[in-house]
């Protein structure tokens, strides 16, 4: 009988000790650690670098970082020219909308001006330079969309405040125009 075998008992104790020491992805996260993570995401960004942490993160990683589930994912979503993508939102934790094709990151949109209030056009240009390529912004006639395709970053601004940002994988301006940007057309009074 295996239970009477001392070797089997040692093996069983060894397996139990090893399984307790190995990280288990199915365990629920430590509530204090999760709360600290949530607080980090709620801090208003003061620079572009803090937003680029999301760039190229796969869906599973973003879900884990936010503590989101499949109920936070909407399939067959649309954003500008992006179609057939999955949209991940969890506004209780983070004010952005993530877009994925399969598990691959495609774009992060953040349009919460309060969340973006510490960012300014001057701060962004200080980090990325002044080579942002101007496009019409859907935000309005007095705003421009400044695209830094090599950095995977775009922002809309009226010159003083940042209205929204887009984070995406590094690409050329032609790729951005072909795959993401949708010209809002001229604004008419």
Give, for 77, the enclosing helix (H) or strand (E): strand 73-79
Question: What's the predicted TM-score (pTM) here?
Answer: 0.77
Length of the chain: 189
CA atoms of 136 and 143, how far apart (whole Å): 7
Q: What is the pLDDT of residue 161?
A: 94
pLDDT bracket for residue 130 (50, 70, 90): confident
pLDDT bracket for residue 6 (50, 70, 90): very low
Q: Up-side HSE of residue 116: CA atoms within 13 Å toward CB?
A: 23
Question: Are 127 and 119 in contact, with CB atoms under 8 Å apart?
Answer: no
Token look-up 């995406």 returns: 168
Give, for 178, the enclosing helix (H) or strand (E): helix 173-179
Q: What is the mean pLDDT of the chain?
A: 81
Tens-place pLDDT, residues 85-104: 999 999 999 999 999 999 99
Question: Are 118 and 45 in contact, with CB atoms under 8 Å apart?
Answer: yes
Tens-place pLDDT, residues 36-46: 444 466 688 88
């Amino acid at each position: 009988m295996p239970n009477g075998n001392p070797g089997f008992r040692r093996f069983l104790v060894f397996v139990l000790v090893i399984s307790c020491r190995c990280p288990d992805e199915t365990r629920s996260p430590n509530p204090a650690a999760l709360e600290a993570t949530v607080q980090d995401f709620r801090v208003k960004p003061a620079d572009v670098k803090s937003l680029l942490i999301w760039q190229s993160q796969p869906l599973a990683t973003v879900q884990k970082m936010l503590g989101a589930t499949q109920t936070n994912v909407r399939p067959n979503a649309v954003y500008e020219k992006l179609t057939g993508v999955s949209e991940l939102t969890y506004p209780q934790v983070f004010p952005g909308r993530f877009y994925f094709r399969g598990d691959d990151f495609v774009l992060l949109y953040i349009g919460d001006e309060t969340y973006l209030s510490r960012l300014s056009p001057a701060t962004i240009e200080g980090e990325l330079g002044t080579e942002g390529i101007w496009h019409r912004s859907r935000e309005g006639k007095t705003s421009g969309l400044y695209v830094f395709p090599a950095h995977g970053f775009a922002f809309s601004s009226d010159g003083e405040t940042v209205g929204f940002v887009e984070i995406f994988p590094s690409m050329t301006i032609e790729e951005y125009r072909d795959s993401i940007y949708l010209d809002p057309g001229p604004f008419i009074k």
